[in-house]
């Protein structure tokens, strides 16, 4: 069975079934979520066992005429991360997005399931696509599945946030598409592997690279194109925020990595890598400070996403270079990828925990959450564990990721990139403890819960938070997988 195909086809089949099922759509989750997870695990096993990139020519037509799907270690790992996060949020959403009665269907519960399944399919299409135009279609799918999720609750302020998100994302799509057209005009192929052999450092490739990068940055919400992210991610229902903040912004970042490390390494310039990392540094500092200043929990978590995305861009100047003597070569590459994955688990756990708090208390003003730890111990514990990973404290995936990035920065003599990373960790401790301290301290008047939260719902963010910690305890597994099909530019550096 070609698992690489099933990873895309299965969620879309779920989407197409969910719409006619209407008020019964939530029952479909019990079929789609486990089978999608199983397919992802099987794909990882296939890549792991084979030890090389799995390539699949769709329809039997090899590129450049046809489209190839490719799963290397990085793609497989991201497909598995996506499956785990989507399954957890899907289970979480089952309590929220179900019909109000047996006869009536409600707007949000009918639309949530097809949108979630489509988002899953779109993420897998982005992680597995080997063709730049096909990846454009995957980006469009992502945008059009993500934007309605933002305003699914139908509150007026979320419409404004969704519209702003749509405008940024569509601008990003157009820029990306113009770049794809230029590359096709210059080299006559859209296939990433073929393009890597053909692309040279010349005006058309520079223009295409610049446009596509700008477009993908708008979708990844890198500073200063982050304006859409906090209101959109904070205003969405918790289950949607978890997927949007944990996964969707990572997909456009992943395409940026594919673009530079796989398709255009010959075109990349060290100064461009420095610029990306400088923007990432600004994102870490601004995002963390803004997260510290928020009054509302979900907004603080959303600004933290803006900051944590910044770390990913330090990969560009740190990857490769004089790091061959490190215990793991390409430390920054592994560190960046591991950061993306551990943040996916930690951030989705945080948003689900914040959603439970909002649901139980009726508001999410940080000042009014004193003593919540006694009322919802499991949820606050999950929030704290996820915070551990964001701060980069051991033992957690975030610790290993940041440690790899910082040691690479020091070993390669680029110590200045280590400064914002360490400062970002301290600031993250600030915004996490700003929530945890009053939550764990005894308040004069402990918060009254509007309604109890069942333990099995509280367990879901806890499992996600534990996964982000577990990554720090089992770092060698992902490394062996990441090694499969790793681009040479990941070890030799860009430019």
Partner 1 sequence: MNGAWLLLDLVLVPMILAAALCAVGARAQFTGIVFYIVYGLLLALAWVRLGAENVALAEAAIGAGLTGVLLLGALARLPAAAPAEPGADGSPGTALRLAAAILCAALALGLGAAVLALPEPAPGLADVAAAHLPATGLGNPVTAVLLVWRGYDTLLEVVVLLLALLGVWSLTPDPLWGGVPGPRHRTRPEGVLVFLGRVLPPAGLLVGAHVFWAGADRPGGAFQAGTILAAVWLLAIMAGLTDAPAVRGLALRLVLVGGPAVFLGVGLAGLATAGAFLGYPPDFVKPLVVLVEAALTLSIAVTLGLLVAGAPERPPR
Q: Which residues bind partner 1 (CB under 8 A)?
A: 2, 5, 9, 12-13, 15-17, 19-20, 22, 56-61, 64-67, 105-108, 110-111, 114-115, 118, 121, 125, 133-134, 137-138, 140-141, 144-145, 147-148, 151-152, 154, 159, 178, 182, 184-189, 202-204, 206-208
Hunting for tokens 């978890």 — which residue is that?
A: 242
CB–CB of 276/209 below 8 Å? no
Instruction: Closer to partner 1 by CB, 21 or 466: give it.
Output: 21
In the complex, the smallest distance separating the C-beta of residue 138 from partner 1, rounded to whole angstroms, is 7
Following DSSP, what letter does each residue of 195-257 receive, concatenated? Answer: HHHH--SSHHHHHHHHHHHHHHHHHHT-TTS-TTHHHHHHHS-HHHHHHIIIIIHHHHHHHHH
In the complex, the smallest distance separating the C-beta of residue 37 from partner 1, rounded to whole angstroms, is 20
In the complex, the smallest distance separating the C-beta of residue 3 from partner 1, rounded to whole angstroms, is 11
Instruction: Closer to partner 1 by CB, 6 or 302: give it.
Output: 6
Paired tokens of 412: 């390669």
CB–CB of 243/85 below 8 Å? yes
CA 387 – CA 461 distance, rounded (Å): 12
In the complex, the smallest distance separating the C-beta of residue 92 from partner 1, rounded to whole angstroms, is 20
- Angstrom CA distances, 90 to 38, 150, 251, 385, 450, stand at 15, 16, 19, 21, 24
Based on its alpha-carbon atoms, the radius of gyration of the chain, rounded to whole angstroms, reads 21
Instruction: Closer to partner 1 by CB, 9 or 470: give it.
Output: 9
Paired tokens of 386: 């996820």
In the complex, the smallest distance separating the C-beta of residue 63 from partner 1, rounded to whole angstroms, is 10
138 backbone dihedrals φ, ψ, rounded to 5°? -60, -40
Instruction: Closer to partner 1 by CB, 103 or 445: give it.
Output: 103
Instruction: Closer to partner 1 by CB, 28 or 463: give it.
Output: 28
Q: Can the peptide bond before residue 395 be classed as cis, meaning omega within 30 degrees of 0?
A: yes
In the complex, the smallest distance separating the C-beta of residue 61 from partner 1, rounded to whole angstroms, is 5
CB–CB of 355/88 below 8 Å? no
In the complex, the smallest distance separating the C-beta of residue 180 from partner 1, rounded to whole angstroms, is 12
In the complex, the smallest distance separating the C-beta of residue 231 from partner 1, rounded to whole angstroms, is 17
In the complex, the smallest distance separating the C-beta of residue 57 from partner 1, rounded to whole angstroms, is 7
Instruction: Closer to partner 1 by CB, 189 or 305: give it.
Output: 189
Hunting for tokens 């229902």 — which residue is that?
A: 237
Q: Can the peptide bond before residue 224 be classed as cis, meaning omega within 30 degrees of 0?
A: yes
User: What residues are paired with 57 via a beta bridge?
Assistant: 68
Give the DSSP letter of residue 262. Answer: I
CB atoms within 10 A of CB 479: 16
Instruction: Closer to partner 1 by CB, 135 or 344: give it.
Output: 135
In the complex, the smallest distance separating the C-beta of residue 171 from partner 1, rounded to whole angstroms, is 12
CA 460 – CA 462 distance, rounded (Å): 5
Instruction: Closer to partner 1 by CB, 174 or 419: give it.
Output: 174
Helices 132-150, 156-187: crossing angle, 10 deg rounding: 180
In the complex, the smallest distance separating the C-beta of residue 187 from partner 1, rounded to whole angstroms, is 6
Hunting for tokens 């991360």 — which residue is that?
A: 81
CA 298 – CA 317 distance, rounded (Å): 32
Instruction: Closer to partner 1 by CB, 182 or 350: give it.
Output: 182
In the complex, the smallest distance separating the C-beta of residue 9 from partner 1, rounded to whole angstroms, is 6
Instruction: Closer to partner 1 by CB, 8 or 465: give it.
Output: 8
Instruction: Closer to partner 1 by CB, 154 or 413: give it.
Output: 154
CA 337 – CA 410 distance, rounded (Å): 19
CB atoms within 10 A of CB 453: 18
CB–CB of 46/82 below 8 Å? no
Instruction: Closer to partner 1 by CB, 139 or 406: give it.
Output: 139
365 backbone dihedrals φ, ψ, rounded to 5°? -75, 125
């Amino acid at each position: 069975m070609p698992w690489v195909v099933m990873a895309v086809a299965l969620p879309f089949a779920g989407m197409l079934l969910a719409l006619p099922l209407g008020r019964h759509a939530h029952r479909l989750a019990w079929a789609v979520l486990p089978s999608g997870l199983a397919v992802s695990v099987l794909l990882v096993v296939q890549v792991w066992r084979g030890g090389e990139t799995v390539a699949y020519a769709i329809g039997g037509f090899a590129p450049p005429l046809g489209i190839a799907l490719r799963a290397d270690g990085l793609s497989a790992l991201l497909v598995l991360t996506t499956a785990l996060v989507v399954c957890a949020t899907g289970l979480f959403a089952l309590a929220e997005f179900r019909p109000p009665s047996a006869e009536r269907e409600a707007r949000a519960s009918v639309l949530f399931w097809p949108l979630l399944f489509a988002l899953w399919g779109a993420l897998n299409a982005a992680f597995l696509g080997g063709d730049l135009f096909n990846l454009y279609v995957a980006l469009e799918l992502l945008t059009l599945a993500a934007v309605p999720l933002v305003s699914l609750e139908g509150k007026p302020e979320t419409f404004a946030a969704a519209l702003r998100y749509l405008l940024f994302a569509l601008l990003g799509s157009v820029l990306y598409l113009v770049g794809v057209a230029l590359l096709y005009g210059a080299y006559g192929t859209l296939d990433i592997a073929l393009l890597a052999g053909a692309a040279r450092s010349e005006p058309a490739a520079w223009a295409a690279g610049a446009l596509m990068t700008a477009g993908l940055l708008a979708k990844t919400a890198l500073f200063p194109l982050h304006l859409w992210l906090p209101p959109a991610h904070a205003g969405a229902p918790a289950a949607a925020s978890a997927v949007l903040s944990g996964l969707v912004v990572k997909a456009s970042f992943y395409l940026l990595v594919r673009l530079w490390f796989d398709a255009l390494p010959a075109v990349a310039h060290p100064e461009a890598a420095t610029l990306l990392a400088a923007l990432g540094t600004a994102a870490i500092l601004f995002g963390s400070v803004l997260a510290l200043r928020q009054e509302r929990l979900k907004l603080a978590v959303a600004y933290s996403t803006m900051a944590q995305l910044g770390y990913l861009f330090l990969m560009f100047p740190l990857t490769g270079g004089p790091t061959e003597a490190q215990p793991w070569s390409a430390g920054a590459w592994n560190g960046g990828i591991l950061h993306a994955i551990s943040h996916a688990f930690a951030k989705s756990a945080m948003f689900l925990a914040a959603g439970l708090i909002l649901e139980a208390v009726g508001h999410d003003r940080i000042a009014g959450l004193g003593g919540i730890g006694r009322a919802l111990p499991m949820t606050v514990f999950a929030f704290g564990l996820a915070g551990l990973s964001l701060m980069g404290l051991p033992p957690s995936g975030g610790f290993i990721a940041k440690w790899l990035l910082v040691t690479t920065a020091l070993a390669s003599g680029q110590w200045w990139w280590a400064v914002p990373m360490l400062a970002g960790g301290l600031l993250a401790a600030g915004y996490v403890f700003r929530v945890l301290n009053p939550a764990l301290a005894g308040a004069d008047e402990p918060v009254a819960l509007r309604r109890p939260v069942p333990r099995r719902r509280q367990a879901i963010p806890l499992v996600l938070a534990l996964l982000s910690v577990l990554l720090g305890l089992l770092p060698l597994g992902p490394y062996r997988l990441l090694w499969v099909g790793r681009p040479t530019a990941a070890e030799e550096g860009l430019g």
